[in-house]
Amino acid sequence: MTQERMESGEIDLNRFNQVFFEECGEHLAEMEQILLSLSDGKPDEEQLNAVFRAAHSIKGGAGIFGFQDMTVVTHIMESLLDRVRNHEIPFTTAMIDLFLEAGDVIAMQLAGHRDGAEVRQEAVDQISSKLRQYTDVKTAVIGTDATETGVTTATDTTSDSQPGCRLFEMEFTPDPDIFKRGVRLEQLFLELEQLGELTINAEISDFPDFGTFDPEMCATCWQFTLKTAASEEDIREIFEFVADEDQLDIRVVSDTQLSDALGDSALTVDLAGIQAPSARMAPLPPSDNVTCISPGRRASDRNETAPGAFGRRSGEADSSIRVGVTKVDQLINQVGELVITQAMLAQAAAGVDPVQYEGLHRGLLQLERNTRDLQQSVMSIRLVPISVVFNRFPRMVRDLAAKLGKQVELKTFGDTTELDKGLIEKISDPLTHLVRNCLDHALELPDVRIATGKEAIGTIMLRASQLGGRIVIDVIDDGAGLNRAKIMGKALERGIAVSDSMTDDEVWQLIFAPGFSTADAITDISGRGVGMDVVLRNVHSMGGRVQIASESGKGTRVTISLPLTLAILEGISVSVGEEKFIFPLSSIVESIQPKPENLKTVNGRQVVHVRGEYITVLPLYGMFNLQTPIIEPDKGILVLVEVEGERAAILVDTLMDELQVVIKSLEENYRKVEGTSGATILGDGKVALILDVAALIDLGKNWSDKDAASLIE
Amino acid sequence: MSDDMSERTRIYLAGDWSMDGVTKQMPQLVEQLTSLSGICTDEKLPTNAHHDQSEVDLTRIEKLDACGCQLLAVFLRALQLGGIKPLLNDMPDDIKEKIQFLGFANELELQSDHPRKCA
Amino acid sequence: MQEEQGSLQQQTGTGVGEYLTFTLGSEEYGMDILKVQEIRGYDAVTHIANSPDFLKGVINLRGVIVPIVDMRIKFKLGRADYNEFTVVIIMNVVGRVVGMVVDSVSDVTTLAPEQIKPAPEFGSALDTKYITGLGTVNDQMLILVDIEQLMSSPEMQLMDVPT
């Protein structure tokens, strides 16, 4: 029993840590975004404040969740930023790099906690001492503070002689799980105390029965009074990771009220002293002078799918809720079921007399529209703007360009284009690779560019847009372009068949061949060993396609096109005997009804001659051991497929429909089936397997003549 | 307030009274409650039957956090409901400070001379 | 009988088990009723390529894809006909949903431990390691199957073998 509870507690903890990790990541991204936008200029007050707030929030969260190591760098950084924004230390452009570096170190620590990644302590120490140099230069006062961890030393917001002091009354009703989440309330209260004069009173309003009491559940609520010059915003920030809006009630007592209330000496608590009188929390008289402050920026903080930190400058009131991905996926699944049920109904009703049952048909049509709308709405929940990915490139381009001695301008378009969260995670690597390629290989050095009549500054353009049911992402550079002769030379070296009659498009496809990776094939700058074949494979695994257009001396455009979502596949249904299968549309080149004279046998294998090319014929009935009368390719349909540069002609009985299918797992209750990537449920309620074309082609290679012979038996 | 004649016992609370340890404290607290007052924790008895006093000794507590304070408050309350008046005397300074800082001075009635009002 | 069972139940607490009984050929089997999700008729299945003959295929059970095994083929008992009387027991084993075709489903029977004898090494179609014991109900022998053990065994080929 105890064991169980502890285990579930642990899971909870992880879940809540996850929220911190995510928000911390957002803060880091925001920080970086702002710092980069400065390029070499000076930040305005709002930008400085924003960076300061980001650092402060990370520190606060880290302290509360017990990641003490993360508070060290953030603390020093925060102190320095505070002094800069108070004009105690002048801002220098070198600080941008310094802060960027500090951000990296914090991100490294974050990754250490989240993924167990390695944390290089020397990097932490290094940046800490670098930051400290700045803070130490001007004043000696900071002294020991800077080396202390965890505890805030927010400068000078506390002085209670300031005229701007206000008295806040707060009531904090924590989530019952707050202890299990590992939240250190002590830390939080200490931070509050940094803001001003604080009194704290805990209250257990409804005493639980001891026999059934779960000591890990929080049944306590806290009331505070805080006399401070800080804003409500500042207070809410301290509670950022701990309290939802409705769990924290903050009221400000107007100034006149304040002087009265302050007359009661009980309002301050002397920590060293003893026995605070129990009357000290005497409620202040409720009156018109008590202003209720509406919930602050918490709402936008909880936003998962919006561009998060980037879109949210000064408390935009875009309200949202943070929902677990599994919940969303469950919803998507259920809507998927609904779509299937609707399709089944429609099919069943097709045989019903439309005149006699006009009402039924109208109702079904309405249902179809409604389900489609519902499906679209639900799908859109998972959509995330591509800016999440795009936003990491400015930094990378800046760093890499400096390293390579190139001058580069990065332009992004269509940042708000949305795609599935799962795709966002997967597209990041291929895009990073492509952008690095542009920098590394495509763009020329400034003097070379000038010599060829171009501007010294090269351009990399990232452009995202939605075209029909697909997302198209272009990576465009105005560099040297692909070198046809070199690529063909390299291909020959690698034993890839080439001919001069190949079109440019066909030549460009060669760089996707496995092993065609090293950069010296295309430019003379050394490559990093990761090839375009990896890009292609990643994109394919998402059901996407890659195209290249290039013009010598003008530049190159790589176009990636992706489906909107991973949960739905665009496919074509085919039939073999009694069974139906789904081909992913993205793998199909064309389908043909071959003429007998185009069919040949090479080494005992059947091939089909299509436009000068011989393509192996793979009979699906044979590979899957199916019964069908159609065993001759010229009696059926050949589906020409292509995956990763490999082609095959797959023999099926007939092509049926082009359709969108909801992808289902076979492994959930059964096992992986060779040659398939999953299954779906068709309109008639039957299961159809979705073909994995790459696996089929592999299967086909091993599918020897012996198998073919045994088929005939 | 003339409880001098009644029996005085001493309850020692020890060990980890933080989030990580509260669950482990529960069995012995339940035992303490049962043996002291014979109360069944499921039913609340009227509290005025008699007023035994019991000193609750916190000196052996090694770790205390908000979660532990809450447990302490709930435990003391259960004692009271069982007719035992807990006395928190000779509290170590650090424990006392912690309790006050976390705002539990009221709930724990640090100057626990006057009887607690019933909720 | 009734009384006896009542008192037994008190004595043994958890020892008493409820079993769903079904027939395969001429043999009567029993499986833990708690593993049964539902009983349904046989629907058209989608065949799975290159799978063993007793794996009939997969069906769509309210949006979930469920494999169907025919125990009559697996254990070479009875005739594997499929008609409107063919019964499929849908069960939950090791966190999965699996359907099992049997000749017929007869009853739900309560058995006390005393009514269960250890399985001898005998000529059942089923390997003794999947048999938890033999029960006797109304003079009829009931072979009690450890269905979880059986369905997750490699010979059923229902799960990916970790490599």
CB contact under 8 Å between A200 and B40, yes or no, is no
Q: What is the chain A residue with the closest CA to C93?
A: A669
Q: What is the pLDDT of residue C161?
A: 64
Contact A668/C65 with Cβ under 8 angstroms?
A: yes
Q: Do A623 and C49 touch (CB under 8 A)?
A: yes
Query: A204–B42: do the CB atoms touch at under 8 Å?
Result: no
Distance, CA of A596 to CA of C78 (rounded, Å):
47
pLDDT at B119: 34
The answer to whether position C143 is within a domain reads yes
Q: Do B103 and A274 touch (CB under 8 A)?
A: no
Question: d(Cα C46, Cα C67) in Å, to the nearest integer?
Answer: 9
Of A206, A209, A218, the CB nearest to B41: A209
For residue C29, is it within any domain? yes
- Whether B106 has its CB under 8 Å from any CB of chain A: the answer is yes
Cβ distance C66 to A674 less than 8 Å, yes or no, reads no
Amino acid at A634: D
The DSSP symbol for A310 reads G
Measured between CB atoms, which of B40, B105, B119 is closest to A275?
B105
Nearest chain B alpha carbon to A5: B23
Give the range of the structural domain holding residue A671, as residue numbers without chain letter.
568-710
Contact call for A184 and B101, based on CB within 8 A: no
The minimal CB distance from A204 to the residues B33, B40, B70 is found for B70
Q: Which residues in chain B are closer than 8 Å to A203, comparing Cβ atoms?
A: 106-107
Smallest Cβ–Cβ distance between A219 and the set B42, B70, B104 belongs to B70
Q: A620: how many CB neighbours lie within 10 A of its CB?
A: 25
Q: Which residues of B touch A281 (CB under 8 A)?
A: 106
Question: Would you say how long chain C is, in residues?
Answer: 163
| DSSP H helices in A382-471 | 387-390, 393-404, 421-437, 446-451
Instruction: Report the gap between the CA of A280 and the closest CA in chain B (Å).
Output: 10
Please indicate, yes or no, if residue C161 is contained in any of the structural domains.
no
pLDDT, tens digit, for every residue of C24-83? 888 889 999 999 999 998 888 998 888 888 999 999 887 789 999 998 888 888 777 888
Residue A653 confidence (pLDDT): 93
For C123-129, the CB contacts below 8 A with 24+ separation are C124/C27, C125/C24, C125/C25, C125/C27, C125/C75, C125/C76, C125/C77, C126/C75, C126/C150
For A680, nearest residue in chain C (alpha carbons): C65
Domain count, chain A: 5
Mean pLDDT per block of 10 residues along chain A (713 residues) reads 40 64 84 79 80 83 79 84 81 82 88 83 85 64 38 39 71 84 82 84 82 84 85 81 79 56 37 38 40 36 35 44 80 80 81 86 90 83 86 86 87 87 84 86 87 89 82 90 83 79 82 64 42 80 83 89 75 90 88 88 84 88 86 88 84 87 83 86 84 86 57 44
Contact partners of B by the rule of 3+ C-beta pairs under 8 A? A
Measured between CA atoms, how close is C121 to chain A, in angstroms?
Answer: 31
**Cβ–Cβ < 8 Å for A380, A428:** no
Report pLDDT for C89.
94
CATH number at residue C145: 2.40.50.180
Class in CATH terms, B2-101: alpha beta
This prediction's pTM: 0.46
Q: Are A530 and A581 members of one domain?
A: no
The predicted pLDDT at position A565 comes to 67
Contact A672, A689 (CB under 8 A): no
Q: Does residue C132 lie within any of the structural domains?
A: yes
Q: Is B45 on the interface with A (CB under 8 A)?
A: no
ipTM at complex level: 0.82
Q: Residue C20 falls within a domain, yes or no? A: yes
* Beta strands at C87-93 and C36-41: parallel, antiparallel or unpaired: antiparallel
Of A127, A155, A183, the residue that ends a domain is A155
Chain A interface disruption, residue of B11, B19, B37, most A CBs within 10 A: B19
With contacts defined as CB-CB under 8 Å, which chain C residues touch A337? 62-63
Question: Is A202's CB within 8 Å of B110's CB?
Answer: no
Task: Please say which residue of A155, A178, A199 terminates a domain.
Answer: A155
Option in C49, C64, C159 nearest A673 (CB):
C49
Q: A133-167: b or e for each residue (b if 16 or more CB lie within 10 Å)?
A: ebbeeeeeebeeebeebbebbbbebbeeeeeebbb
Q: Give strand ranges (E) for B2-70.
A: 8-17, 52-64
Instruction: State whether C65 and A668 contact (CB < 8 Å).
Output: yes
Q: Which residues in chain C have Cβ-Cβ distances shorter than 8 Å to A625? A: 49-50
Contacts of C48 in chain A (CB under 8 A): 670, 673, 689
Task: For an interface test with B, give the residue of A173, A186, A217, A220 to mutate (most B CBs within 10 A).
Answer: A220
Q: Do chains C and B touch (3 or more CB pairs under 8 A)?
A: no
The whole-angstrom separation of Cα A636 and Cα A576 is: 9
Are the C-beta atoms of residues A172 and A197 closer than 8 Å to each other?
Answer: no
Element (H, E) at A357: none
Tell whether the torsion through CA atoms of A440, A445, A450 and A451 is positive or negative: negative
CA distances from C131 to A121, A572, C126 (A): 59, 47, 8
| A239 and A361, same domain (yes or no) | no
C65 Cβ neighbours under 8 A, 6+ residues apart:
A664, A665, A666, A668, A669, A670, A679, A681, A687, C58, C59
Alpha helices (H) along chain C: 2-12, 71-74, 147-151
Does the beta carbon of A345 lie under 8 angstroms from any beta carbon of chain B? Answer: no
* Tokens, residue A592: 């043909």
A638 in the same domain as A660: yes
Domain chopping of chain B, boundaries: 2-101
How many residues would you count in chain B? 119
Q: What are the chain B neighbours of A186 within 8 Å (beta carbons)?
A: 65-66, 98, 101-102
CB contact (8 A) between residue C50 and residue A679: no
Q: Is B12 on the interface with A (CB under 8 A)?
A: no
What pLDDT digit, counting tens, does each position of B67-113 carry?
899 998 888 888 888 778 888 877 888 888 888 888 888 888 764 43
Convert A664-693 to b/e letters by CB count within 10 Å (16 or more is b): bebeebbbebbbbbbbbbbbebbbbbbbbb
Name the residue range of residue C65's domain.
2-153
Among A86, A75, A241, residue whose Cα is nearest residue A156: A86
| Cβ separation A668–C158 shorter than 8 A | no
What pLDDT was estimated at residue C35? 92
CA distance C19 to chain A (A): 24
Residue numbers in C near A333 (CB within 8 A): 63
Q: Of A171, A240, A242, give the one whose Cα is nearest residue A202.
A: A171
State the smallest CA–CA distance between residue A605 and chain C in angstroms: 21
Taking each helix axis from N to C end, the angle separating A2-37 and B22-37, rounded to the nearest 10 degrees, works out to: 140
Helices B66-81 & B22-37 angle (0-180, nearest 10): 10
Give the nearest partner residue to B102 out of A189, A275, A281, using CB atoms: A189
Q: Testing the interface with A: which of C43, C60, C91, C159 to mutate, by most A Cβ within 10 A? A: C60
Distance from CA of C2 to the nearest CA of A (A): 36
Chain C: touching chains (3 or more CB pairs < 8 Å): A
Q: Contact A674/C47, CB-based, under 8 Å?
A: no
Place of tokens 């340890």: B21
**A314 located within any domain:** no
Tell me what pLDDT residue A259 has.
Answer: 43
How near does any CA of chain A get to the CA of B104, in Å?
5
Of the candidates B67, B77, B107, which has its C-beta nearest A215's C-beta? B67
Confirm or reject contact between B35 and chain A (CB < 8 A): no
Rounded CA-CA distance B15/B59 in Å is: 10
- The answer to whether the Cβ–Cβ distance between C65 and A624 falls below 8 Å is no
What six digits make up the tokens of A314?
């000064």
Residue C159 in domain? no
A485 and A336 co-located in one domain? no
A596: left (phi over 0), alpha (psi -120 to 50) or beta: alpha
Domain assignment present for A317:
no
- pLDDT greater at residue A265 or residue C102: C102
pLDDT at C162: 56
Q: What is the pLDDT of residue B11?
A: 83
The count of structural domains within chain C is 1
Asked whether residue C91 is domain-assigned, the answer is: yes
Please judge whether C65 and A679 are an interchain contact, meaning their C-beta atoms are less than 8 angstroms apart: yes
- Under 8 Å CB pairs connecting chains A and B tally to 111
Quote the pLDDT of residue B89: 75
| Mean pLDDT, rounded, for C102-130 | 80
**Interchain proximity A216–B41, CB inside 8 Å:** no
